[in-house]
Structure 1
Amino acid sequence: MTITSDLGVDELARVRRVRAEEPGAIRAALAGRRRREVVRGDGRLFIVAADHPARGALAVGQDPTAMANRDDLLRRLAIALRRPGVDGVLGTPDIIDDLALLGLLDDKIVVGSMNRGGLRGARFEMDDRFTSYDVETMVESGVDFAKTLLRVNLDDAGTAATLESTARVVTEAARAGLPIMLEPFMSRWHDGRVVNDLSTDAVVLSIAIAAGLGASSASTWMKLPVVDDMERVMAATTLPTLLLGGDSGADPDDTFASWQEALALPGVRGLTVGRTLLYPPDGDVVAAVDIAAGLVHAGSAS
């Protein structure tokens, strides 16, 4: 599949050269980028997610290595970030550093992904400890927003440590004035793999648990899946919420329709979506991103 992007071979070669010869340029690129307010204009956010590779999740649909080619991923991200209505990007430091060197982060919200230790398919998958960004580094480097996955398994004693460590970073983020997005799930082991419970009751329960973590909820946002009875889901919290897209394999039209309905609910502030838009079935990244941007910023000039 050919992806049309004006991100050239020379630019990608420069990233590799700079990483080897001038690593200090990464810090300078992050410090020198033009920043923006997190919430502005219509108050809604459309964030493109690209933190999947670091947790060993390279598959999209039936392609088990769709996200393995870094140049291809960066080209897709370049297309998305240059489209109107795209407010920012979510990634681990390797992705964010590449994008900074490519000059793609000006006037964008940068969301730092914090925990990727529980690798997809590993025996230790529930041990999703913090192995990526930390609050101090994000504040120092000008990252605008933090994000952490929170999987709660009531049959796994390790969940207690996960809750404690998550509460700690929520507290740290609140003290630093750094918005932090929690992505909670009720999870369980099934046939040797971790499965998230996407029933309405389970999502509501996950919100109740996550919202209470930390010494202050002043900086806390939610990142929630679109499930049945989203009215009841959003009635469970006053925290600002972004909807996640996932890789459901559903018909794109059905997916967009479900997003549109959920975006109209009180408390929903926008979308954080990755694979569904970066790797659409027809390969048209521009069209997929533009549709999602239109849903988020409906009636807005942004």
Structure 2
Amino acid sequence: MSRVSIGELTGIRTRHPEAVAEAAVRRGRRSRLLGDSGRLMIIAADHPARGALAVGESRLAMANRLDLLERLCLALSRPGVDGVLATADILDDLLLLGALEDKIVIGSMNRGGLAGAAFELDDRFTGHRARDLARLGFDAGKLLLRIDYGDPGSLDTLHTAARTIDEMAEHHLPVFVEPFVCHRVDGRLRTDLTAEAVTRSIAIASGLAGTSAYTWLKVPVTDDPDDMAAVLETSTLPAVILGGEIGDDQHGAYERWRTALRLPTVQGLVVGRSLLYPVDGDVAKAVDTAVSLL
């Protein structure tokens, strides 16, 4: 891939905004979600739209769009990478760059719960709608489902998520539901990754909407990876493992993913910052290593 030119992208957006829709129509598509390997390797890049720009100690690492797009283009060009999960602005750029040919494209649907905000648990659907994904010929959607038993607003999130899953099913589009049980500590939102909490979140997410035929789960590895086998017995829905924050222990994260990938309902990985911004800076190596786990 040649270097990304912000000037060229902005010029197209300025003079010919219809180019995004035209690129979506021309895009080569895969016939099914899972490729020949029977596994799914997705690069996630929907963090910026929720104001989550930090990687490690760098608070604004993902704020440089030129740098992010180049990292994404490199990651998507690696063998074994099936596609990308992102918001409309990033997917539009990747369409214009021709980086989504024969790739799985997953639109991020609710980014309203801004990181660190008082309303962070109000995960409103500010991104792709089901009809947007269908119109653009994208392959799936993803929604975040964070539940705080002490926050009455979580009921609104549950209700909206259920109706969105219904809408996706009407379009015969898969939707990846990313459920968490959360609570606040000193005003800050914390995710509970104990086996019991992850089990409850999977049970709740699996029962949403009028059908689960098109629902996938996007789940974290628990605090104790040995618990994952029992946790994933909670549902027959296909699941992918999310990367999340891994700190400096990249090798340990790979081993946790490798263990989870042996489980019968796990179909692949959806990983973002840890592959796009690896500790050693080698994106290609990080992506290739993750692919090898499949």
TM range (shorter): over 0.9
Is 2:210 aligned against 1:225?
no
Equivalent-residue separation in structure 1 for 2:219 and 2:23 (angstroms): 31
Counterpart pick for 1:85 among 80, 95, 110: 80
Q: Secondary structure at the match of 1:67?
A: helix
CA–CA separation in structure 2 for the residues paired with 1:244 and 1:47: 10
- Give 1:13 shift: 2.3
Q: Indicate which of 199, 208, 215 corresponds to 1:213.
A: 208
Shift of 1:143: 1.1
Match of 1:294 in 2: 292
- Counterpart of 2:2 in structure 1 is 7
Q: Is the partner of 2:62 in helix, strand or coil?
A: coil
CA pair 250-203 structure 1, distance change in 2 beyond 3 A: farther
Partner letter of residue 168 of structure 1? R
Partner SS, residue 219 of structure 2: strand
Identity %: 52
5 Å matches for 1:248-263? 248-263=246-261
The answer to which of 229-238 and 267-276 deviates more is 229-238
Question: How far apart are the structure 1 equivalents of 2:216 and 2:150?
Answer: 26
The 3-state SS of whatever aligns with 2:245 is coil
Cα distance in 2, alignment partners of residues 191 and 95 from structure 1 = 34
Number of the residue aligned with 2:171: 176
The residue that corresponds to 1:126 in the other structure is 121
Match of 1:20 in 2: 14
Aligned length: 290
Q: CA deviation at 1:167?
A: 0.4
Task: Please tell me whether the aligned partners of residues 7 and 78 of structure 1 are also in contact (alpha carbons under 8 angstroms).
Answer: no
Is 1:282 aligned with 2:274?
no
Report deviation, 1:200: 0.6
Give the partner amino acid of 2:87: T
Match of 1:33 among 27, 33, 39: 27
Offset at 1:250? 4.2
- Partner residue, 1:299: none
How much has 1:32 moved relative to structure 2? 0.9
Task: Using CA pairs under 8 Å that are at least 6 residues apart, name the structure with larger relative contact order, 1 or 2.
Answer: 1
1:127-166 to 2 correspondence within 5 Å? Answer: 127-166=122-161
| Counterparts of residues 66-81 of structure 1 (less than 5 Å) | 66-81=61-76
Please, what is the CA RMSD of the aligned residues?
0.9
Greater mean deviation of Cα atoms: 139-148 or 35-44: 35-44
Deviation string 1:240-290 (CA, Å, 9 cap, x unpaired) is: 000000122141111111111110111100000000000000000000000
1:64 aligns with 2:81: no
1: CA distance between counterparts of 2:94 and 2:245?
23
1:73-129 alpha-carbon deviations (Å, 9 max, x no partner): 000001000000000000000010000000000010000000000100101111111
State whether residues 58 and 67 of structure 1, in contact with CA within 8 Å, keep that contact through their aligned partners in structure 2.
yes
Calculate the TM-score normalised by the size of structure 1.
0.94
Q: Which of 47, 60, 65 in structure 1 is aligned with 2:42? A: 47
Q: Report how far residue 31 of structure 1 moved.
A: 1.3
* Structure 1 runs not aligned, ≥5 long: 1-5, 297-302
Displacement of 1:12 = 3.4
Runs of 4+ with >6 A deviation = none
Aligned-partner residue type, residue 19 of structure 2? A
Task: Confirm or deny: 8 A CA contact 1:38 1:109 kept in the other structure.
Answer: yes
